[in-house]
Structure 1
Amino acid sequence: MQYETAGALGNGERIFITAKLPGYIKVGSDDYIEKYLFLTTSHDGSGSITAAFTPIRIVCQNTLSAALRNSSNTIKIRHTGNAEDRLKEAHKVMGISNKMADELDGLFNQWTKVRITDKDVMKLIQQAMAPSKEVLKSLKTGEELSTVFKNICDNAFMYAMASPTQQTETTKGTLFGAYNAITGYFQNVKEYKDDEAKVKSIIGGTGQLRTQAAFDLCLGYAKSGEEALTLN
């Protein structure tokens, strides 16, 4: 692993490190995704170390992490002074990273072959970005949506349609492009108070919740098409 960045969250009570893993996830012929681990821990040793697998699409520095339905993209590591236990924990981290990389490689390449209309892209964005069941209900019944919510969806849709990174062979008109549009909104469009707020949103906060919702919707769309966007 190659350690690239380190910093503190809050008032310094938690620290983080990003570590680049060897190799890439290759989507299509030339869309490369780097494999990273994002590790956080507390200074006082009271909490476990958290390691999260966070793939990043190189062309737009876009974090594409998501938990698969049968496995998480994070693992808790116990603080231990025993060398053998540490090796076991390290093997767990590398195991989950390799498994996630292999599964996302297959999924993302599959999604580049699934076509999606602009209308369905907007539906997917709206459902992924919905902050509550009430908003989902309004989407189903056609009730008026808040200006704030409409602006969020419009900005994400504009990114989906106009960003140069959305005009490539792997993203233009594809399900992979639709997923990347939502993750890209939180990475490259949304304005944050500061870098710390951005990190907290993308890793464990609102951004991660919304992109996980988008990931799950894309899984459904790949299986059953626009039917996956039908609100019950």
Structure 2
Amino acid sequence: MAHNLNYNEKTGRYSFFSVQQKAWHNLGQIVDQYPTSAEAMIYAGLDYEVIKSPLYTKVNDDSEKQVPHYFANIRTDNNTVLGVVGKDYQIVQNREAFSFFDAIVGGGDGILYETAGALGNGERIFITAKLPGYIRVGNGDDVTEKYIFLTTSHDGSGSITAAFTPIRIVCQNTLNAALGDMSNVVRIKHTAGAKERFDDAHRIMGVANVLSIQMEEIFNQWAKVSINDKQVKRLIEHALCPNKETFDLLKKGATDELSSVFKNSINDAFAYAMTSETQQMETTKGTLFGAYNAVTGYYQNVAKYKSEEKKLDSIMNGSAQKRAQKAFDLCRSFAEIGSDIFLMN
């Protein structure tokens, strides 16, 4: 897989750090202790500023003329142009992104910076931070840590995005799920002011607190709900279903007409559900919780991606996240109804 991590020629380092765990593609810095936000920014190579600079174009007489209402975002440590933005675009400096995290729990008490890095030329950054507390399933051996993931860009391509994402320690599965009308994602426009960003920091923390409490209750319930192998496979089929045409084929039982790519995905996910060591726990073996983890575990540990960046995008806010959400909704329906016609066929 390609990594697309930014390489800083001045320092001779890749812009990425990780605490204790092996760094991305063996690149970047591994540190022993959780750093402060200021230390994390330096370890990850994010200690650079970005400025908006006027854009100029050549005219007929070869003179320069300023382009109105548009600016180039420039990285000041190496003068790299990161993107073109409009006049209302507000730069969120990398240090401000860390301040967003520090504001969540009040001065950084209890928040642990786990990873951070820059992609491309430094136009996109990402940070993951561990929150205090756990989600415990069963007798407490199956533990889920609570994280907030943030990504922002300096090229005008998207909003600041912060997401609550629990991760199971035993298999590092990212368990993205929204309960009811609540989303685990907060998006902040680059036109937003500092006060709005600060308010949203507390909003994502509120989302994290509510979601973690509700998810612990739901996961413990699912760990007590039995599901047989045939039902697990049907759940996987419907959770991974990419479109209505495939869904109609599944309803008709026309498995021979399914694409080979889809069938291979189903087989790989089902094999993970049946054979993975983490699927043999008391909380997962033959349980609805295990079925849900089979889908999230497939995308986290088995599915192939063109690059680590594509994997990150897919799991946090792309097709893998949507499939995991579909699995969550199917499991919740299964638990409430006791059976589901699509799972029982």
The TM-score, its normalising length taken from structure 2, stands at 0.63
Contact 1:140 1:231 in 2 (8 A): no
Partner residue of 2:283?
Answer: 170
Say what the alpha-carbon RMSD is for the aligned residues: 1.9
User: Aligned equivalents of 1:204 and 1:62: distance in 2?
Assistant: 15
Q: Secondary structure at the match of 2:177?
A: coil
Q: Residues 61-119 of structure 1: CA distance to partner in whole angstroms, max 9, x if unpaired?
A: 1101111122111112354234xx45422221211110111111111111001100100
Partner residue of 1:5?
Answer: 115
Q: Secondary structure at the match of 1:211?
A: helix
Contact 1:50 1:75 in 2 (8 A): yes
Partner residue of 1:198?
Answer: 311
Which one is further off, 190-199 or 112-121? 190-199
Query: Aligned pairs, how many?
Result: 230
Contact 1:20 1:37 in 2 (8 A): yes
What pairs up with 1:1-232 in 2 under 5 angstroms?
1-9=111-119, 12-29=122-139, 30-43=141-154, 47-77=158-188, 79-82=192-195, 85-143=196-254, 144=256, 145-227=258-340, 229=342
User: Aligned equivalents of 1:176 and 1:45: distance in 2?
Assistant: 40
By how many angstroms is 1:203 displaced? 0.9
Contact 1:41 1:49 in 2 (8 A): yes
Which one is further off, 177-186 or 40-49? 40-49
User: Aligned equivalents of 2:153 and 2:212: distance in 1?
Assistant: 27
Contact 2:137 2:219 in 1 (8 A): yes
Residues 10, 176 of structure 1: CA spacing in aligned structure 2 closer, same or farther, 3 A cutoff?
Answer: farther
Q: Secondary structure at the match of 1:216?
A: helix
The TM-score, its normalising length taken from structure 1, stands at 0.92
Contact 1:120 1:226 in 2 (8 A): no
Contact 1:63 1:183 in 2 (8 A): yes
Residues 211, 10 of structure 1: CA spacing in aligned structure 2 closer, same or farther, 3 A cutoff?
Answer: farther
Of the two structures, which has the highest relative contact order with CA contacts closer than 8 Å and spacing of 6 or more?
Answer: 1
Residues 11, 114 of structure 1: CA spacing in aligned structure 2 closer, same or farther, 3 A cutoff?
Answer: farther
User: Aligned equivalents of 2:250 and 2:118: distance in 1?
Assistant: 39
Letter in 1 for 2:269: A
Contact 2:234 2:344 in 1 (8 A): no
User: Aligned equivalents of 2:334 and 2:263: distance in 1?
Assistant: 23
Larger relative strand fraction: 2
Larger relative helix fraction: 1
Q: Secondary structure at the match of 1:59?
A: coil
User: Aligned equivalents of 2:219 and 2:289: distance in 1?
Assistant: 6
Which one is further off, 168-177 or 218-227? 218-227
For structure 2, the residue ranges without an aligned partner over 5 or more in a row are 1-110
Contact 1:34 1:57 in 2 (8 A): yes
Residues 107, 198 of structure 1: CA spacing in aligned structure 2 closer, same or farther, 3 A cutoff?
Answer: same
**Identity over aligned residues, as a percent?**
61
User: Aligned equivalents of 2:208 and 2:341: distance in 1?
Assistant: 29
Q: Secondary structure at the match of 1:219?
A: helix
